[in-house]
Amino acid sequence: MIKAVIAAGACSGAIASPGGAETAAASLAKPFSPAAGPRSRLLFVNDLAGDLDGLYALVHAILTPTSELRGIVATGTGNPSESAAKAVDMAEEVLELMNLAGKVKVHAGAARKMAEPTVPVRSPGTQAIIDEAKRTDTDLPLFVAVGGGLTEVASALLLEPSIADRFTLVWIGGDSYPEGGTGEYNFNIDKLAAQYVFNQSAVPIWQVPRSAYATCLVSASELQAFVAPHGRIGAWLYQKVVDAPAQYRNILNMGETWTMGDNPLVLLTSLADWPPSAQARPFRYERHGSSASEEVIAPALNSDGTFTVRKEGRKIRIFKSIDNRMMLNDLFAKLRIHYPAAG
């Protein structure tokens, strides 16, 4: 869908080609796009009215053609100023700034968190997850990439348990195995939802815990140099960092760094290694040679965010480190290619 709008064309970024200089020039004039098309589908789920890293991750997802962006689920945090409705507005503003208004579907997430352990919260975002997971007209694997609470995912699984084996959940949230921990932000948005997904559902999980996403630091000077000059969207993203201290009434001296904690959603779903994970068709591409992870039996997730180790059950993947070089440089390069700086 979005792939065809922003990156149709180039099958190689190489300078030398059998067609000579003319072919090379035509290739360099277009953003790189995989010759064989996307390798997966992506639903991007994020509290876009909350911390600004979700906005950077959304732009990165839109500009990355290896995953076909099937929709944006705009979620809330529980803070009245960070509602799902406000997140919808933010998603639509991003698309307008990228000259893509109306090109990607935006779905509102739940208006509240789960009030009881097994009672779902219906929302357009929840239904979007169900509908995309139930598709039978494509072999492309589906990633539901969440940089926030798990209300919509848990609700979708409760409403339609049969979809549990039809997507992989990539979640920025929680703390590291085996101890877990207390106070992690995305877990606290909806503790009951997170517990249901870990403890009672069968969905495959790739978790990026706080110890991993906290390493995704970028400096404001990097953003000023590599983001701000590139289109209306680049200037807008950079200004969000400039304006961030005002949100805290200048009580905090935020220095000159920010954590791009949601960008691993793009790295892990779209920038995996080039060989397939196994030789069985349809191929899946789920190796991450430069981002370390471990597969463990899913621990029980407790109400305070700590884990209780279990000896049996399904395995999940927990990331221990993130390839920040490739993740951030890929974002910077795509902004530069799609929105060349003036002059």
Residue 327: CB atoms within 10 A of its CB come to 23
Structure confidence at residue 19 (pLDDT): 57
Q: Residue 296 in 3-state DSSP?
A: strand
Asked if 172 contacts 264 with a C-beta cutoff of 8 angstroms, the reply is: yes
Asked if 2 contacts 69 with a C-beta cutoff of 8 angstroms, the reply is: yes
Asked if 75 contacts 148 with a C-beta cutoff of 8 angstroms, the reply is: yes
Residue 154 burial (10 A CB sphere; 0-12, 13-18, 19+): buried
Residue with tokens 């440089």: 329
Q: What is the signed CA dihedral for 261, 83, 92, 69, rounded to 10 degrees? A: 50
DSSP H or E run through 221? helix 220-226
Asked if 3 contacts 65 with a C-beta cutoff of 8 angstroms, the reply is: yes
Question: Cα(5)–Cα(266) distance, rounded to whole angstroms?
Answer: 18
Q: pTM for the full model? A: 0.93
DSSP H or E run through 303? none
Residue 23: CB atoms within 10 A of its CB come to 14
Residue with tokens 């090109």: 103
Tokens at 202, concatenated: 């069968």
Q: What angle do CA 200, 285, 173 make, to 5 degrees?
A: 40
Question: Cα(204)–Cα(300) distance, rounded to whole angstroms?
Answer: 15
330: Cβ contacts below 8 Å, ≥ 6 apart: 60, 64, 266, 267, 271
Residue with tokens 């549990």: 164
In SS3 terms, 42-96 reads as EEEEECCCCCCHHHHHHHHHHCCCCEEEEEEEECCCCCHHHCHHHHHHHHHHHHH
Q: Residue 264 in 3-state DSSP?
A: helix
pLDDT, one tens digit for every residue, the chain (343 residues): 554 445 433 333 333 445 567 677 667 779 999 999 999 999 999 999 999 999 999 999 999 999 999 999 999 999 999 999 999 999 999 999 999 999 999 999 999 999 999 999 999 999 999 999 999 999 999 999 999 999 999 999 999 999 999 999 999 999 999 999 999 999 999 999 999 999 999 999 999 999 999 999 999 999 999 999 999 999 999 999 999 988 777 688 889 999 999 999 999 999 999 999 988 888 999 999 999 999 999 999 999 999 999 999 999 999 999 999 999 999 999 999 999 998 6
Question: Cα(44)–Cα(76) distance, rounded to whole angstroms?
Answer: 14
Question: Cα(157)–Cα(97) distance, rounded to whole angstroms?
Answer: 34
Asked if 268 contacts 274 with a C-beta cutoff of 8 angstroms, the reply is: no
Question: What is the DSSP track for 32-44?
Answer: ---TT--SEEEEE
Asked if 152 contacts 196 with a C-beta cutoff of 8 angstroms, the reply is: no
Structure confidence at residue 169 (pLDDT): 98
